[in-house]
Amino acid sequence: MHPTMDTSTQSLREHDTIRAVRWQGDRLCLLDQRLLPAEERWIECLNAEEVTQAIRDLAVRGAPAIGIAAAWGVVLAAQQGAPLDDVLATLRAARPTAVNLMWALDRMKGRIAAGAQAAALEREAQSIQDEDLAANRHMGELGAALIAPGSGVLTHCNTGSLATAGYGTALGVIRAGVADGRINEVFAGETRPWQQGARLTMYELVRDRIPAHLIADSAAAHLMRSGKVQWVIVGADRIAANGDTANKIGTYQLAIAARHHGVKFMVVAPSSTVDMATPDGEAIEIELRHADELLATGGRRTVVEGARAWNPVFDVTPAELIDAIVTERGVIERPDAMAMRAMFGQ
Amino acid sequence: MHPTMDTSTQSLREHDTIRAVRWQGDRLCLLDQRLLPAEERWIECLNAEEVTQAIRDLAVRGAPAIGIAAAWGVVLAAQQGAPLDDVLATLRAARPTAVNLMWALDRMKGRIAAGAQAAALEREAQSIQDEDLAANRHMGELGAALIAPGSGVLTHCNTGSLATAGYGTALGVIRAGVADGRINEVFAGETRPWQQGARLTMYELVRDRIPAHLIADSAAAHLMRSGKVQWVIVGADRIAANGDTANKIGTYQLAIAARHHGVKFMVVAPSSTVDMATPDGEAIEIELRHADELLATGGRRTVVEGARAWNPVFDVTPAELIDAIVTERGVIERPDAMAMRAMFGQ
C-alpha cells in the first residue's frame, strides 16, 4: 500500500458526502480510517494483495465498504491477469464476520463464471458501489419514518459514509431523521477498542453540523434512564435467517439496555448483509482480534506487562431484542424467521 | 504536590499488599494513580490544600481511599494551625459522589468538636485507615462465601488495594474467592474513560498472579452470554437508604445485563459508604467531569475539533438489580429499605 497525499483530486472537502473508497481505473484509493480524524491520508492499492491487506488491517472497515473494496480488488486482479480463484479465496478470508464481503465476492465470482473479462468486472464492481449508495439513501427514508419528531438517538461504531459507498446505513437514517426534524440530538458511543464512534462517527457528525455528544460505551444505560434517547440505531455485519444480528461488540449490550428502558432498537443494513444460509446467531463466526488492541493505546502499552485480554470484536443481538430491521427492500418490524423469509426468500 | 522517588522506603515490591496512601508523620504520600502502571511515582502532600488537589485531580481515587486521604488532610491542617472549618469545607467539595469523603470528614469534625488536638486527630485518621483495612478483610470472607466453587467473575473499575487502605472491597472478595478456590477466573472491564480497570485492576491482578482477562466495557453482555461468569462484583461510592447504589459509570449497564442473563450481582463496600440520609438513588448527585476525558487520550486529541461529549462518571444501580450488598457488618441479600434499616439504623 502506498501512501499518497494528492489532495487536489481527493480532498474530502470537495464533496458533499465523504467517499472513502475510490476507484481510479487502475488502482483503488482508500481513506485510511486508522488515522482519522488526526490525519486524512489516502492509501493506494495497486493489486488484490494490497486490498486484502487493507481489509485485514482495518484501513478500510465497515461491512458494506469492505465488500465494495473487495470487488475492486477482484477487478485489479483481472486487469493484471492474476489467478482469480486464489484472489477470491484470499479476499474472502480477510475478515470472517461481515457477510457483505462474501456477498460481493460471490457476485464477482458469478460474473467470472459467466465469462466476464476485466472491463465487465469493472462495471460490476461499479454497480455494487452505486447500488450501495442508492440503498443507503432509500434506507435513510424508510428508517427515519419510524422515528417520532423531536427524538434523541444513540448509535454505535461507525455506519456512515466512511463505512459504505456514502451516506451510511444507521448514520444514513440519522442524517435523514435530522434533515426532516425527527431527530433533535445524537449520542455516539466511543466503540472501544478501535474508537470508531469517537474517531469516525463524531468526525462525520461534526462535519454535517449535526448536534451530537460522544459518550463512553458504558454510559449508554445511564443515558437511556435519563430519557434523552428514544431509539438506538445501529448497522450490521451479518443478519441471520431468523433476524439475529451480528454487529460491533457492544451492540448486544445496548439492545438489552434499550429493552430494559423501553427504548426502541433499529438495525439498518443493505440486503447484502442478510445471510439466509445462516439459520441464527449461534452459527455466526465471531472474530477475535489481538489482545494488544486492548492492552495498548496509540502504540503505547497502557496495561501492565503479563496481562491478558479477551477481544471479541462482534457480538450477536437476538432478533427478539430488535424492534425493526431496515433494508432497501423495506422494514421488518419485530423480525423473526417467517418475516425474514417473506422478504428475503429461501 | 511534590514528586518523590524514594523507593528505598516506598517501593510497592516490599509489601504483600499495596498501600497507596501512606502517612509519614508530617506529610501524606500518595501513589499517583494517573500514571500507573507505566510509572510508580509517589507524590507528597505537605498541607490540606495539596491533599484536596490530589483528590480533585484523581491522583488518589476510590471511595475509601479518598476518605482516608481527606482525614490525613485534616491532620496536616491541625498540625499547621490552619482554620479547620475552612479545610473541612474545601475537602468536602473536592468530589461530590463518594460519601466516604463526607463520612471521614464528619468523623474528624466530631473529634474536633470534642476538643481533639493534632495528636488525637492523627490517632483518629489512623483508626479510619486501620478500620478500612480490617473491614476489607472481613468483607472478603463474607462475599467469597456467597460464590460457588469454580465460578468466573467480572469486575469493573478498581476496588483493590489502590482504592482503599489495602486489600480492597470488590477486589478483596475476589482475592478471598481466588484464595479458597471459589473463583477460577476473573474478567475486568477497562472502565473508560479513566481506564481504572485496564490500568489499575489488571496491575493488581497480575501482581497477585490471579488468572485474569481484560475486556472492553461493551463486551460484558457477550461474556455473560458465553456462560463464563457467574457473578459481577463491584464496589460503591454511595449506597442510599433503600439499597440503590452509585458507582463508576457502567455499573448500572452491567447490572441490567447480569439480570438479563441470570448472572448474580454483588456490591461490596464498607459501611462508611452507606448513606441512610439519602433516601434513594434519585437523590444522589452524579459528578459530571470534563468532556476532554473522552475527547483526548493520553494528552492527545483523538476526536475531531468541535465535537462535544457527555461525561457522567457515576451512575445509579437500583436495589432491585442487586443480589447482595456486602459490608463489614454483614450481607444483605435482595436489599430494600427495610433490610437496610435493620442493619444500618437510621
Q: What is the pLDDT of residues B20-74, one digit of tens each?
A: 999 999 999 999 999 999 999 999 999 999 999 999 999 999 999 999 999 999 9
For cell 471511595, name the residue. B63
As a whole number of angstroms, the distance between CA A310 and CA A290 comes to 8
User: Which of A218, A253, A307 faces B192 most closely, judged by CB atoms?
Assistant: A218
- Tell me, what's the pLDDT at B123? 98
pLDDT number for residue B16? 63
* Alpha-carbon distances, residue A20 vs A47, A69, B335 (angstroms): 18, 10, 53
Of the residues A237, A244, A275, A315, which is catalytic?
A: A237
3-state class (DSSP) for residue A212? strand
From the CA of A231, how many Å to the nearest CA of chain B? 17
Q: Which fold has domain A18-134?
A: Four Helix Bundle (Hemerythrin (Met), subunit A) (1.20.120)
Contact B310 A190 (CB under 8 A): no
Q: What confidence score (pLDDT) does residue A9 get? A: 41
Residue-wise pLDDT for B59-79, tens only, equals: 999 999 999 999 999 999 999
Contact call for B202 and A307, based on CB within 8 A:
yes
- Residues from chain B that touch A160, judged by Cβ atoms under 8 A, are none
B17 pLDDT higher than 80: no
Listed residue (B257, B54, B283) closest to A254, CA to CA: B257
pLDDT at residue A15 in the model: 42
Pairwise CA distance, residues B44 & B23, whole Å: 10
Chain A contacts of B195, Cβ < 8 Å?
A: 302
How does DSSP assign B274-342, residue by residue? EETTS-SGGGSPPPB--THHHHEETTEE-S-TT-EE--B-EEEE-GGG-SEEEETTEEEES--HHHHHH
Span B156-164, average pLDDT: 97
Residue B234 DSSP code:
E
**Cell digits for B28?**
501524606
Question: Given this model, what pLDDT does residue B15 score?
Answer: 42
**Which residues in B lie closer than 8 A to residue A203 (C-beta atoms)?**
303-304
- What pLDDT, in 10s, does the model give residues B91-123? 999 998 889 999 999 999 999 999 999 999 999
Domain boundaries, chain B: 18-134, 138-344
Query: With contacts defined as CB-CB under 8 Å, which chain A residues touch B218?
Result: 189, 191-192, 217-218, 249-250, 253-254
Q: How many A/B residue pairs have CB atoms within 8 Å?
A: 186
Per-residue pLDDT, A2: 62
Of the candidate ranges B10-19, B107-116, B255-264, the one whose mean pLDDT is the lowest: B10-19
Largest CA distance in chain B: 59
From the list B168, B145, B165, B166, the residue with the least C-alpha distance to B157 is: B168
Mean pLDDT (10-residue bins), chain A, 346 residues: 48 63 97 94 98 96 96 98 97 93 97 98 98 97 98 98 97 98 98 96 96 98 98 98 98 98 98 96 94 87 95 97 98 98 92
In this model, does residue B207 exceed pLDDT 60?
Answer: yes
A153 contacts in chain B (CB < 8 Å): none
Q: What percent of chain B has pLDDT over 90?
A: 92
Q: Which residues of chain A have a CB within 8 Å of the CB of B207? A: 304
For residue B14, pLDDT over 80 is answered with: no
B189 neighbourhood in chain A, CB within 8 Å:
218
Question: A40, A248, A304: which to substitute to probe chain B, counting the most B Cβ within 10 Å?
Answer: A304
Partner residue facing A249 (CB), from B222, B257, B304: B222
A222/B38 Cβ within 8 A: no
Q: Please answer yes or no on whether A311 and B187 come within 8 Å at the CB atom.
A: no
Considering only alpha carbons, which residue of chain B is nearest residue A205?
A: B307
Helix (H) or strand (E) holding B245: strand B245-248
Longest pairwise C-alpha distance within chain A = 59
What pLDDT shows up at residue B13? 44
Q: Verify whether the Cβ–Cβ distance B206 to A307 is below 8 Å.
A: yes
pLDDT score at A115: 97
Confidence at residue A247, expressed as pLDDT on a 0 to 100 scale = 97
Strands B21-23 and B245-248: unpaired
- CB of A55 closer than 8 Å to CB of A70: yes
CB contact under 8 A, B214 and A294: yes
Residue of B nearest to A261 (CA): B256
Query: A238 - beta bridge partners?
Result: A246
- Answer whether residue B8 shows pLDDT above 60: no
Confidence at residue A16, expressed as pLDDT on a 0 to 100 scale: 63
Best B228, B248, B251, B253 residue to mutate vs chain A (most A CBs within 10 Å): B253
Are A294 and B195 within 8 A, CB to CB? no
Q: Does the annotation mark A292 as catalytic?
A: no
Pick B192's closest partner by Cβ from A38, A217, A304: A217
**What is the pLDDT at residue A3?**
59
Q: Which of the residues B32, B237, B275, B315 is marked catalytic?
A: B237
Residue of chain B with shortest Cα separation from A317: B222
Instruction: Tell me the CA distances in angstroms from A118 to A18, A77, A78, one per residue in order.
Output: 27, 9, 5
C-alpha cell at B6: 524514594
Chain B residues with CB-CB distance to A206 below 8 A: 304-307
d(CA B79, CA B336): 43
CATH of domain A138-344: 3.40.50.10470
Residue B299 predicted with pLDDT over 90: no
The reported pLDDT for the residue numbered B18 is 87
Closest Cα in chain A, distance from residue B53 (Å): 24
A298 → closest Cβ in B189, B222, B300? B300
Q: Chain B residue closest to A210 (CA)?
A: B307
Residues 6 or more apart whose Cβ sits within 8 Å of residue A85: none
* pLDDT for res B4: 54
Question: Which DSSP state fits B226?
Answer: T
User: In this complex, do A218 and B304 lie within 8 Å of one another by their Cβ atoms?
Assistant: no
- Residue in A with minimal Cα distance to B218: A250
Query: Hey, are the CB atoms on B213 and A303 less than 8 Å from each other?
Result: no
Contact at CB, B222 and A312, closer than 8 angstroms: yes
Q: Which residue has the higher pLDDT, B165 or A346?
A: B165
